[in-house]
């Protein structure tokens, strides 16, 4: 009998638990440990920030959902990982409750939001907001309601070492749409500030014609932008930005005024994971091989934003490679297959396809991109926009929440529809 422990109950951890329980025999135990007792559908956070969704609409209590599937749930933070003794140290409780042994560990924690890399940034004592968590989105909504009484300039974007730029673009356009509905857009200049070398780079070196299409959309929505932007500090009502040229030399210094700001922070690995010797790169992201296995510890696997993926290209201001939802699901499926094969005495062979599929809402329209695989060169590389994307994003939200409620990580119709499009989870 083996005990498989999954760290994290998010977009990676929950599907991992469901798939693992479905694929492994009942003699093996599956345990999820998480610092919070709820699942949040992170892609909907921009909607929460402008009041288009409530917290209750995108959050699920995970304990009953997991236990119904025969999965143990421990709502405690992990404070340390002992990869030699194969055990986790948990926060709180009696001493006997603070140690959790494992035979296999799956790390799906997501990132640490490193606001402290830019002085004055962040919602906790700083001057910028985030939509990386539902709590942060709610904090923006609270300030936004006051902002609407006396609107002014807004800054949206991403700081150096951010790893997922899509939500920044989404939020800029969603905010634009909401302000237009309220007849206030004319009172709110919007500036998009990003570490990307150009608009539509997305941390992917662009996808299809994303550069020209996103630039056109921003011009059409009266947004200004600053690229190659190194945000250096934030003060009340002012964002300090050093803009560099393509060679990294200082091009211009900016002081961008704002009454409200949403800037995605740098990402790092969470502290207990980053502290494990030889497990991670210097930023605390887990170093894995092609089978999603740790390069240092053969019974540790990892998936999602917490894994180390080199940037697709060197950029003047450091940018991270995004790990989108479907890409994460392909990683999870590979892990489940590989652990199951190893328990059966078979060699591990499953590799995630790392295909990137993204639906970016823009308020009343949207943009979709498909990159197969995510890292160039690609077999499929396209970027489209239209009102259908907005509707598709709403549909996907409801669909994914239902998957989490029912405990089915890959319904059969999803598998076959995507297969018809040439999109599969595994390569062997």
Q: Catalytic residues, which ones?
A: 164, 358
- Of the candidates 349, 341, 28, 356, the one whose C-alpha atom is nearest the C-alpha of residue 163 is 356
Q: How far is CA 84 from CA 102, 111, 291, in A?
A: 11, 24, 21
- Of the candidates 248, 335, 322, the one whose C-alpha atom is nearest the C-alpha of residue 293 is 335
Neighbours of 391 (CB within 10 A): 14
Q: How far is CA 311 from CA 103, 114, 193, 356, in A?
A: 32, 18, 20, 15
Number of helical H runs and strand E runs in the chain:
11, 24
> What residue ranges in 320-375 does DSSP mark as E strands?
351-352, 356-361, 366-372
User: 244: number of CA atoms within 13 Å, CB side?
Assistant: 17
Contact indicator for 279, 294 with CB cutoff of 8 Å: yes
Tokens 């991109």 belong to residue: 369
The secondary structure of residue 286, as a DSSP letter, is B
- Of the candidates 359, 417, 354, the one whose C-alpha atom is nearest the C-alpha of residue 384 is 359
Residues sharing a CB contact under 8 Å with residue 401, sequence separation 6 or more, in sequence order: 41, 58, 60
């Amino acid at each position: 009998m083996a005990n498989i422990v999954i760290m994290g109950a998010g977009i990676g951890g929950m599907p991992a638990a469901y798939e693992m329980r479905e694929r492994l025999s009942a003699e093996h135990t599956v345990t999820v440990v998480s610092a919070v007792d709820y699942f949040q559908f992170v892609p909907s956070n921009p909607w929460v920030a402008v009041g288009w969704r409530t917290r209750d609409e995108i959050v699920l209590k995970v304990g009953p959902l997991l236990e119904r599937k025969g999965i143990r749930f421990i709502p405690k933070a992990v404070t340390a990982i002992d990869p030699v003794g194969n055990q986790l140290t948990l926060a709180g409780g009696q001493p006997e409750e603070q140690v959790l042994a494992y035979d296999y560990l799956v790390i799906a924690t997501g990132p640490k939001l490193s606001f402290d890399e830019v002085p004055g940034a962040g919602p906790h004592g700083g001057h910028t907001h985030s939509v990386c968590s539902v709590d942060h989105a709610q904090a923006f909504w609270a300030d936004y309601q006051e902002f609407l009484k006396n609107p002014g300039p807004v800054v949206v974007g991403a700081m150096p070492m951010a790893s997922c730029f899509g939500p920044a673009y989404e939020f800029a356009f969603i905010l634009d749409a909401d302000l237009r509905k309220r007849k206030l857009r004319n009172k709110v200049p919007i500036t998009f500030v990003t570490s990307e070398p150009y608009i539509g780079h997305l941390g992917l070196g662009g996808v299809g014609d994303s550069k020209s299409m996103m630039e056109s959309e921003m011009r059409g929505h009266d947004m200004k932008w600053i690229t190659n932007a190194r945000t250096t500090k934030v003060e009340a009502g002012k964002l300090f930005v050093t803009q560099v040229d393509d060679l990294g030399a200082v091009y211009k210094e900016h002081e961008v005024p704002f009454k409200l700001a949403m800037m995605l922070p740098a990402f790092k690995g969470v502290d207990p994971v980053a502290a494990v010797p030889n497990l991670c790169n210097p930023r605390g992201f887990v170093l894995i091989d092609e089978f999603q296995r740790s390069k240092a510890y053969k019974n540790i696997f990892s998936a999602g934003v917490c894994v180390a993926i080199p940037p697709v290209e060197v950029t003047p201001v450091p940018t991270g490679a995004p790990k989108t939802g479907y890409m994460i699901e392909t990683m999870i499926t590979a892990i489940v297959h590989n652990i199951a094969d190893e328990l059966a005495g078979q060699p591990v062979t499953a590799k995630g396809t790392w295909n990137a599929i993204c639906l970016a809402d823009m308020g009343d329209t949207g943009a979709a991109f498909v990159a197969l695989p995510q890292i160039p060169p690609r077999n499929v590389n396209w970027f489209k926009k239209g009102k259908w994307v907005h509707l598709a994003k709403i549909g996907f939200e409801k669909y994914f929440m239902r998957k989490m409620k029912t405990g089915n990580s890959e319904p059969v119709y999803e598998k076959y529809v995507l297969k018809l499009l040439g999109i599969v989870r595994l390569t062997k």
